[in-house]
Structure formats: structure tokens, C-alpha cells
Structure 1
């Protein structure tokens, strides 16, 4: 008698993909938070500081949207 392979529902694979995407977004959020901290610790050129800070904040907002979607 041949043994049948267990059947894994498609929803399990979909859930795994979504969890992987959420984990990746969380890791990216942590990395961008570190970038923001480095920018505040060493602001460099104050004329470009607001633009550099805005770029980081916009990235963080986008990653937050990905994480909660």
C-alpha cells in the first residue's frame, strides 16, 4: 500500500508569505530607525538635514503601511 503525501492547504503557504513580508517590513523599519538615530547623532550639513530627515521619515511611513496592510 502506497503512503499518501500529506496535503497542505494553500492558505498555509499564503499565511507564510504574509508573515515573511511582515517580518521583512519590521526588519526594514528597525534599520531605518537606526539610520534616523545616526542622522540625529551626526547631522552634518544643516542645510540638507531637513531633506535627509524627511526622506527617512517617508521611508518609515511607507514601511509602516506595508506592515499594517
Structure 2
């Protein structure tokens, strides 16, 4: 789960695997796999970072990225 903030200031938890798409329209809009859209205060990059941190915590992505040729 990742913690996000609605435009009205309400903090909520969102299950990261439900995220299908994140757009800046200019407000950050998250489209879930069921088609529901949510608008949040966090930037697109912040949502990405939170989702990546979640996947690292549960072991679905590595902690480091190897550069080609290293």
C-alpha cells in the first residue's frame, strides 16, 4: 500500500498493484485497473517513487539497477 493525499487533504492508502496509469493533467490523475480515476496532490514522479519503494519492500524489484557494461 502507498499513502497518498486527495486534493481535499484527506490521506488514504492505495494498493499499488491496482495502478494502471499515472498522468499529470495538470493534476496527478491515477487510473486504476478497474477504470476508476483518482486525483491526488502528489506529483507523477512522487507516485512513481512511492510505487517503486513499495515493490522494493516486497521484493518484486531489485534495490540497484546495473548499468550496461558494469
TM-score by length of 1: 0.34
Comparing both structures, which one devotes a greater share of its residues to helix? 1
Comparing both structures, which one devotes a greater share of its residues to strand? 2
Q: Specify the structure having the higher radius of gyration (Cα).
A: 1
Q: Which has the higher contact order (CA 8 A, sep 6+)?
A: 1
TM-score by length of 2: 0.34
